[in-house]
Amino acid sequence: MKRTFLLSLLASIILMAACNKKDEGSTVLKINMTDAPVNAEEVNIDLQAVRVNFTADSSGWTDLDAIPGIYNLLGLQNGLDTLIAQGTVPAGMLKEIRLVLGSNNTIKVNGQVYPLIIPSGSESGLKIKVNKKLAAPMDSLLVDFDAALSVHQEGTGDYKLRPVLKLK
């Protein structure tokens, strides 16, 4: 009798331990964007896609449901942000985010609109290293786009965007 009781107790403990294993499943990931001030009237980026990677070797890219369009970064200051993408992704360690930009990027200074050149923005995208374990069932990231440190006027008069991006 004692032996049967001990075997039943042991089986119950093993069954409870097996049932308590966490299934990481999936999470809804939301990515928002905001900006810091710069000496310009507008800094417009042409967002085309937002991609995320969960693998260490950069082979596992997944497209989120992006909200493509022209975003004036200077309209996203003083606590304002906007949703740029979301999607259901595997719960786990997020390694990297890419913002893929189109060719309609501009800057407006003293009433004049100039093209804003973004080296490799439309090819490989603006890359942000993350290394964050996502919380289930939903997680959110805020991309802080520091336009003041990112926009540079070249000696030729051209404006280039060398993005300084932070995650919050």
Mean pLDDT by 10-residue block, N- to C-terminus, for the chain (168 residues)? 36 41 73 74 94 84 95 88 94 90 92 88 78 86 86 88 84
- Residue type present at position 18: A
Dihedral angle of Cα 146, 44, 64, 26, to the nearest 10 degrees = 30
- What's the length of the chain? 168
Check residue 36 and give its pLDDT: 55
Give the three-state DSSP class for 5. Answer: helix
Side-chain-side CA neighbours of 154 within 13 Å: the count stands at: 11
Strands (E), 7-137: 26-36, 42-53, 61-63, 65-66, 69-72, 82-90, 93-101, 106-109, 112-117, 126-133
Expressed in angstroms, the distance from the first to the final Cα of the chain is 60
pTM, entire model = 0.76
